[in-house]
Amino acid sequence: MKEKNDQQVIEIVKGWYAKTARYEWRRLRRDSYHQIEFITTMYFLRKYLPERGLVLDAGGGPGRYTIELAKMGYDVVLLDITPEVLKVARRQIKRAGVQGRVKQVLEGSIIDLSAFANETFDAVLCLGGPLNHILNPKGRERAAMELVRVAKTGSTLFISVIGRLGLLRTIFLEFPDEIQDCRHHWETGDYIPGILPRPEVTGFTTAHWFLPEELRDLFERHGVETLDMVALEGLSSHHKRETNRLARDKEKWSMWMDILLRTCNHPSIVGGSEHMLLVGRKK
């Protein structure tokens, strides 16, 4: 079977996000459904972050969370692998007027955080799925080690990924012509556009889809105590039309968001969400 080496995978990923940099900035604001991922993530950041400190936003893309945390008074370092995305981030950081809180904007990979000393950060974020784009299992282990290494002992890590079960549901609902590929995604979790599972399947960039226990075990192996596992879209996951329709009624929307936040870390919901979040503490 034709395979891609690690550098080729990196170039595929960088190429994808270079083309979609502006979309990535808008993604979490595009409609009420997509806002749920952001709202839920911010809820758990506020719950578990320290009152102040230096935060690493690793793989933070166009800086949506960097800017929010800077507005809250945190000092933030933003790192991402794609220069075009970082251009968007620098522009948005300036527009938000938070340059003083954003200490660095760096090009780099979560596999190699050697720019930072051990125990540098009071919290570490890796949100939106950067870990998904590391196809090599050894690379994912390295990334987890690096994210843990640069976090201070006792500090909190926030890691979100695209879920494997959620992907199967997405195929069922939105891409029924790809049902034949579900077995491949379930058994391997690996996707390479134009190669796996079939040459004609090219709808996203290179990715490994996670199971919740896989994500939890990855970080627990490297000295992280799991505090929470969260379904970021919760009970609304995959119900875009219904969610956006309900959001037109502010009172009902407020009630629904309350239910989502109360239930999103229930074990029966986490695995089936489009995105899931691990909150952990470095031992």
The answer to whether the predicted template modeling score (pTM) of the entire model surpasses 0.95 is: yes
End-to-end Cα spacing for the chain: 41
Q: Summarize the confidence of residues 175-200 as an average pLDDT.
A: 95
CA-nearest of 103, 107, 115 to 149 is 115
Phi, psi of 164, deg, nearest 5:
-70, -40
The arithmetic mean of pLDDT across residues 39-59, rounded, is 98
| pLDDT beyond 80 at 45 | yes
Instruction: Calculate mean pLDDT across residues 48-66.
Output: 98
Within the chain, residue ranges assigned H as helices are: 6-19, 21-27, 32-48, 64-71, 83-96, 137-149, 164-174, 182-188, 212-220, 240-246, 250-263, 267-270
Tell me how far apart the alpha carbons of residues 264 and 256 are, in angstroms, rounded to a whole number.
12
Rounded to an integer, what is the distance from CA 92 to the centroid of its chain?
19
Contact status, residue 77 vs residue 106, Cβ threshold 8 Å: yes
Give yes or no for a contact between 238 and 173, defined as CB atoms under 8 angstroms apart. yes
Query: What mean pLDDT comes out for the span 180-197?
Result: 96
- For residue 252, is pLDDT > 50? yes
Q: Do 73 and 45 form a contact (C-beta atoms < 8 A)?
A: no
Flag whether pLDDT at 118 surpasses 80: yes
Q: How confident is the model over 247-267, as a mean pLDDT?
A: 98
Predicted confidence band of residue 39 (pLDDT cuts 50, 70, 90): very high
Q: Please provide the average confidence, as pLDDT, over all residues in the chain.
A: 96
Given a cut of 50, whether residue 95 has pLDDT beyond it is yes
Domain spans, the chain: 6-282
Centre a 10 Å sphere on the Cβ of residue 190 and count the other Cβ atoms it contains. Answer: 18
State the average pLDDT over residues 215-234.
98
- The confidence score (pLDDT) of residue 113 equals 98
pLDDT tens digits, 156-180: 999 999 999 999 999 999 999 999 9
DSSP state of 235: G
Reply yes or no on whether the pLDDT at 4 is more than 70. Answer: no
pLDDT at 27: 96
Which residue has 């991922």 as its token pair?
A: 37
Q: Hey, how many other C-beta atoms are within 10 angstroms of the C-beta on 118?
A: 10
The answer to whether the CB of 43 falls within 8 A of the CB of 110 is: no
* CATH 3.10.180.10 correct for 6-282: no
DSSP string computed for 140-181: HHHHHHHHHHTEEEEEEEEEEEEBHHHHHHHHHHH-GGGGGG
pLDDT at 147 over 80: yes
Tell me the β-bridge partners of 226: 280
Phi and psi angles of residue 234, each rounded to the nearest 5 degrees, phi first: 55, -140
> Looking at residue 5, what is its pLDDT?
78
Q: Is the pLDDT of residue 70 over 80?
A: yes
